[in-house]
Each structure stands twice: as structure tokens, then as C-alpha cells.
Structure 1
Amino acid sequence: MAPTFAEATAITATDSHTYTANFNTEWCVGSVPHGGVVTSVFLRVAATHFRTTLAAQNQPHTISLHIEFLRRTQEGPATLVVRDIKLGRQTSTIHVALSQDGREEIVGYITQSNVDTETGLSLKTLWSLDPPPPSPPADFAVLLAGGKEPRWVELTNKPFPKFRKIAHRVRTFLPRDGQVLPGLADEWVRLDSGERFTNESVGFVCDHFPSIIDGLWRKAEGNKSPPPFWFPTVVLNLDVKKVLPPEGVEWLFVRVRTKSVKNGRMDLEVVVLDETGEVVALSHHIALIVGAERNMAARRNGETKI
């Protein structure tokens, strides 16, 4: 039985600035832990560190995260070491480095604040999703009951499911009439376990979406199916706009869009909304596009390069 999301992203403190995690195969793409799972582990480290070691800062909320994926990670144990970079009255920033088998593989900066006590200018903008997604929002009761929702349908024929094992951990609902534009994907997501999304799991949500490349490939190649690609993240940035309730939320909406796919590299712009249409988080990625065999290739001389 696959571990829950909470179990898959659990961390343990070994001292005031060191934490351990364990990446499970069921939350991987091929042999590599899913980037969103890793991001959520970083967020859990920050939340725990500011609840314990840095409790006096009273800054429980991540407002910004920047992660660099230096090397390919693997299933199994990992160690995360924290350095307190800047401790301030309004915001504080930590550096987190993840290592496996003595290799530093991922590094990141995380900035914390206290959203509940923030003050300052607030203005309404005229921003909205353009083009708009199917409206009104999905009837979640119908979707969960397996009924026919007029605007949204569950993705059941998931591509390369043995390779993209992570897809089994999430229920994904796509526009019934197809995506509104090539290079864009809208979805409603819910964890298959029924667990609720918290701010730590937004790190996972911002990196889980239908393949943008699949749709663009089919358009360019006369609807031919694409080969199995792997999309390793190089850089992931997260800007958290809203604190989710302590009990979490069951559903989140995600829009992802790419502006350029060139020379095996692409950008991804991600918007995460809640059921009310309020922005929860914004994310930007740089990702590579490589053959799936690169994911499964044996490591040479102990290296874990992508």
C-alpha cells in the first residue's frame, strides 16, 4: 500500500538545524522523487524549523521559496541541513541543502513571515485567468460520485503510468471539451487518499499537472502520441499568496502554461487557486525535456547528474 502524502513528505529533526526525510518509490517519476514532493519536504522543514528552533521569530508562514535542483535525487533517505541566513522582524530567510549518500543534490532559500499579522497597502487588481477556464467551477460532489459533470471529467487514461507512478496518488479532473489553448493546461486536483491540501502541500500541487509537451507534440505531429519524456526541474520558484486553513482544503485549481519550448528546455508558469477563485500561490519553473531513459540510467562513478 502506498504511503499517504503526509507519510511521503514526513521529516524528522535530528538536531536544531538538521532534518531527515525518506523518499518512497510510489511518489516518484521513474526512479527519481517527484519534484513537487521534494518541494513539499523543503516547506515542511521550514515550517518545523520556525515552529521549534526559530519559534521566537513568530513567522510560521512561507511566503517565498527558490529551489535549485543540482543533481538527480533517488529513492530512500535524505538529509536536509538548514542555515539561518537572515532573521528579521518582518521576514526571515533560511538556506536548506538536501544531500544523499554524501552528495549535495538540491539547495534552496525559503523566506518566512507571519501573514496573520502583516499590515500595509492592499488593493484589488483587474487580473483574471485569460483565457478563462470552464465556468462555473466544478460540481465536486458529482465528480466524487462518478457522475457526469458537464464541464470537467476525470483523467483515467494516464500516460505512462508505470513510469509516472506519482499520477496514481492524485485524482485529476480536466476540461471535458479539452484545454482552451495548446501549451496550456487547466485542472482540478484532489489527493487520492482524501487528505487535504495545506500550505506545505502547495509545493506538490504547483508541480503536478498534465504534460504540456504531450498536447504540443500532438498538434505538431498530426495527433501522434509522444514518446515517454522526463521533465526534470532545474529551478522552481514559489510565491505564496494565501494561507490555507489549518484543516486544509480538499480541492485546488491549477493552470500551467509555457511560453517557449526550445532546445530541450521550457518555462512553466503555474497559478494555483482555491474553490473561491482566490490566488493561493504562483510558481515559475525551468525544466528540461529529455528521454525517459535518462531517468532510469545507472549512475556513473557515483554521480547523479541529470
Structure 2
Amino acid sequence: MASSSILKDQINLKRSSSHIYTVSYHADWTAGPVLHGGCVAAAIHHAATTHLVTEPTLAALDQPDILALHLEFLRACEARGSTITITDLKVGARTSTLQLELSQGGQTKVIALATSINLDSPGPTAATAWRLHPPPRPAPDFEAVLAHRPDAHWLPAHLVGEILPFTRRQLVLNPRGGFPVDGICDAWNTFLDDRMDATYLAMMTDCIPSMSDTLLRNGGLYDARRSFTQIEQWAKENPGIPAELTNSLKEAMQTPIFNNTVTLDIEFKRKLPKNGVQWTFTRAESRMLEGGRMDLDVTICDQNMDLLCIARQAVLVLDARRKFRDRKAKSVL
């Protein structure tokens, strides 16, 4: 696990007592008046992994990794600092379980359960026939992409805007031909100034197009088809050069819907190299959008298409005016 990163510097985790931590927030994480759920998940993951290696009883067990992380988003997190209170629910020889409560101004915003393990521990291993279906396009030539040479299968883009400004550091590769299968969006991601560790992966489980906007083809801010049209047109005139997309709060206030993640479950499948990874492949997949309720599965792989983590969200698709026009960031549920 990378010892430091821009993301962890922004989280700015500090210990107040043996089981209480504070975290900062960064303007990069904001979507209007609230914080991005993926960044909140990353802050909780960082607090959990820090606690596992610094609390003496847990540190002695040598369980530095998170196997599974479950989050219940009770209320929207405001653009302000947070307190994370940890309870050691189970301390075991093989796995332990932590409860993490993130609060702001004395109000509980997120409840999480984290199961710890040592991902280097020996145990049975066997290959399976699992594959992504339908198969994604062949992996890009990463060096060529970074050198701004066109790739046969992927088109590069940056998103620079007022919503979630951290995306300005991110390069996203979209598949040529767009997204022909309803409910499936593939992409390759890298951060140009950082490498990704497990805390980054927690964030990346929520760094995806809006599947609801894409399914409804409503031209919303994160409608993958809308973005791809712009990217494809740019690539015709500027082969190999990343398209630069923008967004604004004004546009966000005009979009009809937004996705409210109710729960997020993440399972980490393998330990990352100590210096992290440079590129990740992400597949976002929804089985059904019905009555404003949507399931969302996220699969993240490394450059070799080896599985790194899987995630599942339960999502409510709501009126966007309730998010961007309420600056007090009240609960939308």
C-alpha cells in the first residue's frame, strides 16, 4: 500500500484519542454543497487501515488490510471536516471487525463496518472461468496514450469543471464505439500525478458515469453517451490528444436527476504493490432501473486485467433540485 498520496494528504487524518479520528475535506471532493460519496468512503477506509496498524491490540494481530467494507450513507456529508469514531466489535486471530461512525456537527452521517485481514496470509488458491461478459475492448498501449499517440481501441479525456474538481487530475479512456450495451460502461483510469492504493480504490468504486442518466439518455452531466459524443468528435480532429470536458454548478442545477447511494459494499480481492498501481480498468453495470431504484455493480482490475476489487451500490435516483438547490445539505431520504 502506498504510504502517502495526494488523496491521503487531502483526507488529513488525525488521531484525537485511541478510537476517535478527525478528517478534513477538500474542495476537490465537492458536488455542489455536498461531498462525493467515493471520497467519503476513501476517508473511512484510510481511518480503518490506520487504526488497524496503530491501535496496539489490533496491530499485534497483523491484519493491516481491509477485506470487506460496508457503508450506510444515512445523510449527505457537507463540505466540512468530520469525526470518525471507531468501535472494535470483534478482535480475532484471522479477521477482526470494526464499526466506524462518521459524524459532522454531532450528527451521524455514515455508518460503516470494516472486516480486516492480512491479504498476504497463505490459503487455497485456484483459477476460475470467470470473465467479464461481454468482453471489454483490448487493453490500450498505456505508454502511447500518455505520449498522446492515438490508441486503436480507446479515446482519452479529462473532465475539468466545478463538480468534483478532482477529476482534473484524472485521465479517463473511453472505448471507441461508445457504450452499445445498455447498462454497461467500461473505462480505463489513471491519475497523472499519483498512483492508486487501496484507499484510492475505495474512491474509484464511485468514480463512474451516471448509469441512470446513461440508461435514460437524458443528456445529464454524467450521461456517458453525451460525453462520448463530445469525445469522439474531438478525437476526429485531435487524434491522441485528451478531450477536455467541462461542467458547472449552473448545469448541475438544470439536470433532472441525481444518484443517491444508499449503501456501498466493497470487497478487496488482492493486495496491491507497495507503490500502488498506475492504471485501473473499471466496469460499471446496472441490471435494472425501476421506480427510481437502481442496482450498480463495479468491477475494478489492474493493467493485466487481474481483479482488484468488486463493489455493489444500492442507489435511489432522485430529483436533482433536492441536491443542488438545498445548500444546507439536508438528508434527501
- Give the TM-score, by structure 1 length: 0.90
Which residue in the other structure is 1:218 paired with? 217
Counterparts in 2 of 1:102 and 1:203: CA distance versus 1, 3 Å: same
Are 2:322 and 2:332, in contact at CA under 8 Å, matched by a contact in 1?
no
Name the one with the larger helix percent.
2
**In the TM superposition, what is the alpha-carbon distance from 1:233 to its structure 2 partner?**
1.0
Partner Cα separation in structure 1 for residue 307 and residue 112 of structure 2: 23
Q: Does 1:234 align with 2:267?
A: no
Tell me the alpha carbon deviations over residues 208-264 of structure 1, each in whole angstroms, 9 at most, x when there is no partner.
Answer: 0122223222289xx889935321211000011011011111100000100011111
**In the TM superposition, what is the alpha-carbon distance from 1:140 to its structure 2 partner?**
1.1
Partner of residue 106 from structure 2, selected from 102, 105, 108:
102
Partner of residue 284 from structure 1, selected from 312, 315, 327:
312
Which residue in the other structure is 1:196 paired with? 195
Partner of residue 35 from structure 1, selected from 29, 34, 37:
37
Are 1:40 and 1:201, in contact at CA under 8 Å, matched by a contact in 2?
yes
What letter corresponds to residue 32 of structure 1 in structure 2?
Answer: V
Which residue in the other structure is 1:173 paired with? 173
Are 2:33 and 2:327, in contact at CA under 8 Å, matched by a contact in 1?
no
Partner Cα separation in structure 1 for residue 143 and residue 271 of structure 2: 25
What letter corresponds to residue 265 of structure 1 in structure 2?
Answer: R
Which residue in the other structure is 2:246 paired with? none
Which residue in the other structure is 1:118 paired with? 122
Which residue in the other structure is 1:81 paired with? 85
**In the TM superposition, what is the alpha-carbon distance from 1:146 to its structure 2 partner?**
1.8
Which residue in the other structure is 1:20 paired with? 22
Which residue in the other structure is 1:132 paired with? 135
Tell me the alpha carbon deviations over residues 250-292 of structure 1, each in whole angstroms, 9 at most, x when there is no partner.
Answer: 1000001000111112110111000111100010001121233
Are 1:217 and 1:224, in contact at CA under 8 Å, matched by a contact in 2?
no
Larger deviation, residues 91-100 vs 36-45? 36-45
Q: Does 1:65 align with 2:69?
A: yes
Partner Cα separation in structure 1 for residue 187 and residue 68 of structure 2: 24
Partner Cα separation in structure 2 for residue 224 and residue 244 of structure 1: 34
Larger deviation, residues 251-260 vs 178-187? 178-187
Partner Cα separation in structure 1 for residue 187 and residue 214 of structure 2: 14
Which residue in the other structure is 1:297 paired with? 325
What letter corresponds to residue 163 of structure 2 in structure 1?
Answer: F
What letter corresponds to residue 148 of structure 1 in structure 2?
Answer: P
Partner Cα separation in structure 2 for residue 272 and residue 207 of structure 1: 11
Partner Cα separation in structure 1 for residue 279 and residue 226 of structure 2: 32
- Unaligned regions of 5+ residues in structure 2, if any? 220-224, 228-253
- Unaligned regions of 5+ residues in structure 1, if any? none
Which residue in the other structure is 2:240 paired with? none
Identity, % of aligned pairs?
30
Which residue in the other structure is 1:249 paired with? 277
Partner Cα separation in structure 2 for residue 237 and residue 198 of structure 1: 18
Counterparts in 2 of 1:88 and 1:276: CA distance versus 1, 3 Å: same
Which residue in the other structure is 1:275 paired with? 303
**In the TM superposition, what is the alpha-carbon distance from 1:164 to its structure 2 partner?**
4.2
| Structure 1 segments (4+ residues) deviating >6 Å | 223-226
**In the TM superposition, what is the alpha-carbon distance from 1:166 to its structure 2 partner?**
4.2
What letter corresponds to residue 118 of structure 1 in structure 2?
Answer: P
- Give the TM-score, by structure 2 length: 0.83
Are 1:22 and 1:75, in contact at CA under 8 Å, matched by a contact in 2?
no
SS where residue 106 of structure 1 aligns?
A: strand
Counterparts in 2 of 1:162 and 1:41: CA distance versus 1, 3 Å: same
Q: How many corresponding residue pairs?
A: 297
**In the TM superposition, what is the alpha-carbon distance from 1:305 to its structure 2 partner?**
4.2
Are 2:137 and 2:153, in contact at CA under 8 Å, matched by a contact in 1?
yes
Which residue in the other structure is 1:260 paired with? 288
